[in-house]
Amino acid sequence: MSYTALARKWRPRRFDELTGQEHVLQALSNALETNRVHHAFLFTGTRGVGKTTIARILAKGLNCEAGMGPTPCGTCATCREIDEGRFVDLIEVDAASRTKVDATRELLDNVQYMPTRGRYKVYLIDEVHMLSVHSFNALLKTLEEPPPHVKFLLATTDPQKLPVTVLSRCLQFNLKRLSVSMIADRMKVILRAENTNFEPAAVRLIAEAADGSMRDGLSLLDQLLAFGGGKVAESEARTMLATVDRKQVFQLARLLGTSDPAELMRFAQSLDEWAPDYGDVLDALSTLLVRVALKQTLPTFEGDELHPPEQLAELALAISPEDVQLFYQTAILGRRDLAWAPDTRTGFEMTLLRMVAFRLSAPSADPSESRGSRGGTPALSGEEGAAPPAAAARHGLSLAPSSGVLDLAQWQDALAGLELGGAARQLAANCAYMGREGGLVRFTLDPAQSLLKTASLVDKLSQALSRRLGETVRVEIELAQAPVETPARAEQRTVDAEIDAARRSLESDATVRGFKEKFGASLKIDPIKPH
């Protein structure tokens, strides 16, 4: 007995068997139930998302012998013949092979005749955008004044190529790309029904490779079954798809977290013996970093088949949230730039080196080389509740007793040593440090920047201080009643002073004065910016 491909064998035959596209199914079901079915439908979307399948089910709903409705019986002669592709009143046309106007006219010549067996004569035109201009004109004539017994179901992957005159006469439904989880869940149902054992990670890999197309996913699953001798295992899936082992990607991320460039590069170079696609490696690393960021933001996040929670939890602790964002951005930019690198391996290695070079919070391997031992970061602890000496040494903090309030210069130096970025750093830069009482660190915020005081940003500042001090502290921020001295204000004063100096230098320049005197020129000082 001949083998039937999974994509054909498991093609949905009812609306409730379809995966996704609920927005389309609801509209069509309501139209069939109320007998308000438009004469022309246009289904758009990428390959393998259900355009033709939905059109065939709609044709069954229109012509089922049990009655018109959204749930065709599937057992009557009409339903069976539509499923088998031999119903006389369902005319399926591949527009890619019938682009000439003569072929279209020949097709439409029979529109005027009543259906042979069904209630409606249904024209299903696939890849309709391939028709010629003259063919569209011939079709348009029929779409303008269709006979009541005719329905047109048009499908295309490129609706931009359709004339607006055709689009305006159709009800248009845009089918969405299917998510990885939708494709994976459907494949699991099929594999169980086929009595085939599978590894969830292998199904996940195939679903990701399907790129939003259910048909592509089932074709790849067929290929994997042939490749693996009937097995659906992760190792066979990775070999067939030529993807890097997830253990290697995890080790890569773990080494980024340790900030050991020598070991990181040794491991990166060892990947070459597997001849990987380095673009795929960066894609896999980016995907992993997204899951790590989710774990850091949502502690209850449990990962997925390819990213177990225990690995995510380990990386979430090993890499700061700011560095996760930096590594992700660097990875996707490096992926884009691989085409311009001398070779892909060189581009891959340079991307890793860039991650290390721009890392926001690289820990020092030698405490003697830390910022605190150089005297750059003052104590952030008050007289009470000081951090243990060992923990403070690891984080480069001086433990000299403090008066409880740091002056502006001290707070600027302390801020420079915190693992903060983006809006969280802006919040800290607009605060004045007021002291510490046990596990509570107090700040006042410049009232002009009150919008920066949000729960998430305050929490990020608390985490950064906790990491720096080596113990858990809580941040409390009050709005100052009047402007306060903050690092941000100090920096702005420096910028303003540089701009004033640049303006004075230009105004006193002999050449500028000469232009003013001879030509009546004026000096525009507003665009002047600090170097």
Q: Is 347's pLDDT higher than 90?
A: yes
| The total number of structural domains that make up the chain | 5
Going by pLDDT thresholds of 50, 70 and 90, the confidence category of residue 372 is very low
Q: Which helix (H) or strand (E) holds 150?
A: strand 150-156
Encode pLDDT of 325-344 as tens digits. Answer: 999 999 999 999 998 999 99
Q: Is 367's pLDDT higher than 70?
A: no
Instruction: Kindly report the CATH number assigned to the domain that includes residue 269.
Output: 1.20.272.10
Going by pLDDT thresholds of 50, 70 and 90, the confidence category of residue 528 is low
Given this model, what pLDDT does residue 389 score? Answer: 38
Given this model, what pLDDT does residue 57 score? Answer: 94
CA dist., res. 214 & res. 432, Å (int):
56
Out of 211-215, 306-310, 397-401, pick the least confident.
Answer: 397-401
One domain, residues 284 and 308 = yes
pTM of the predicted model as reported, rounded to 2 decimal places = 0.58
Q: How many residues does the chain have?
A: 531
Both tokens of 369, joined, read: 């080389």
Encode pLDDT of 148-181 as tens digits. Answer: 999 999 999 999 999 999 999 999 999 999 999 9
Given this model, what pLDDT does residue 496 score? Answer: 83
One domain, residues 150 and 281 = no
Going by pLDDT thresholds of 50, 70 and 90, the confidence category of residue 527 is low
Going by pLDDT thresholds of 50, 70 and 90, the confidence category of residue 394 is very low
The range of the structural domain enclosing residue 41 comes to 6-174
Instruction: Kindly report the CATH number assigned to the domain that includes residue 466.
Output: 3.30.300.150
Closest by CA to 216, choosing from 178, 161, 260, 168, is 178
Q: Is 516 left (phi over 0), alpha (psi -120 to 50) or beta?
A: alpha
Given this model, what pLDDT does residue 1 score? Answer: 56
One domain, residues 272 and 142 = no
One domain, residues 211 and 334 = no
Going by pLDDT thresholds of 50, 70 and 90, the confidence category of residue 383 is very low
Out of 152-166, 302-316, 382-396, pick the least confident.
Answer: 382-396
Rounded to whole angstroms, the maximal C-alpha distance in the chain is: 99
Q: DSSP letters of 368-433?
A: GGSTGGGT-S-----SSSPPPHHHHHHTT-------S---HHHHHHHHHTS---HHHHHHHHTEEE
The answer to whether residue 508 sits within a structural domain is: yes
Encode pLDDT of 228-271 as tens digits. Answer: 888 899 888 888 887 777 888 999 999 998 878 888 899 988 88
**Residue 494: which residues within 8 A CB-CB, separation 6 or more?**
none
Region 122-144: what's the mean pLDDT? 88
Encode pLDDT of 466-512 as tens digits. Answer: 888 888 888 999 998 888 889 988 888 888 888 888 888 877 877 77
Given this model, what pLDDT does residue 476 score? Answer: 92
Region 205-216: what's the mean pLDDT? 90
Going by pLDDT thresholds of 50, 70 and 90, the confidence category of residue 416 is confident
Going by pLDDT thresholds of 50, 70 and 90, the confidence category of residue 388 is very low
One domain, residues 251 and 333 = yes
One domain, residues 89 and 14 = yes
Q: Which helix (H) or strand (E) holds 442?
A: strand 440-445
Given this model, what pLDDT does residue 80 score? Answer: 93
Instruction: Kindly report the CATH number assigned to the domain that includes residue 35.
Output: 3.40.50.300
Region 359-380: what's the mean pLDDT? 45
Given this model, what pLDDT does residue 33 score? Answer: 92
Q: Which of 241, 264, 279 is the last residue of a domain?
A: 241
Given this model, what pLDDT does residue 63 score? Answer: 94
CA 517 vs. chain centroid, Å, equals: 60
Q: Is 348's pLDDT higher than 80?
A: yes
Q: What is the mean pLDDT of the chain?
A: 83
Q: Is 386's pLDDT higher than 90?
A: no
One domain, residues 30 and 144 = yes
Instruction: Calculate what percentage of the chain has a pLDDT beyond 70.
Output: 89
Q: Is 74's pLDDT higher than 60?
A: yes
One domain, residues 342 and 301 = yes
Q: Is 374's pLDDT higher than 50?
A: no
Given this model, what pLDDT does residue 79 score? Answer: 93
One domain, residues 67 and 13 = yes
One domain, residues 443 and 315 = no
Region 363-376: what's the mean pLDDT? 40
The answer to whether residue 367 sits within a structural domain is: no
Given this model, what pLDDT does residue 395 score? Answer: 36
One domain, residues 137 and 252 = no
Helix or strand or coil: residue 125? strand
Q: Is 449's pLDDT higher than 80?
A: yes
Q: Which residue has the higher pLDDT, 308 or 64?
A: 64
The answer to whether residue 363 sits within a structural domain is: no
The answer to whether residue 522 sits within a structural domain is: yes
Question: Are 219 and 7 spatial neighbours (Cβ–Cβ below 8 Å)?
Answer: yes
Question: Are 436 and 383 spatial neighbours (Cβ–Cβ below 8 Å)?
Answer: no
Given this model, what pLDDT does residue 405 score? Answer: 54
Given this model, what pLDDT does residue 105 score? Answer: 79
Both tokens of 310, joined, read: 């225990």
Out of 10-24, 144-158, 162-176, 366-380, pick the least confident.
Answer: 366-380
One domain, residues 230 and 320 = no
Q: Which of 154, 174, 194 is the last residue of a domain?
A: 174
Q: Is 115's pLDDT higher than 50?
A: yes
Given this model, what pLDDT does residue 318 score? Answer: 86
CA dist., res. 247 & res. 235, Å (int):
12
Using the Cα atoms of residue 346, residue 347, residue 352 and residue 357 in order, give the sign of their dihedral.
Answer: positive
The answer to whether residue 53 sits within a structural domain is: yes
Region 174-192: what's the mean pLDDT? 92
The answer to whether residue 1 sits within a structural domain is: no
Going by pLDDT thresholds of 50, 70 and 90, the confidence category of residue 299 is confident
Going by pLDDT thresholds of 50, 70 and 90, the confidence category of residue 380 is low
Out of 47-51, 281-285, 361-365, 408-412, pick the least confident.
Answer: 361-365
Q: Which helix (H) or strand (E) holds 283?
A: helix 278-297
Going by pLDDT thresholds of 50, 70 and 90, the confidence category of residue 429 is very high
Q: Which of 152, 174, 196 is the last residue of a domain?
A: 174
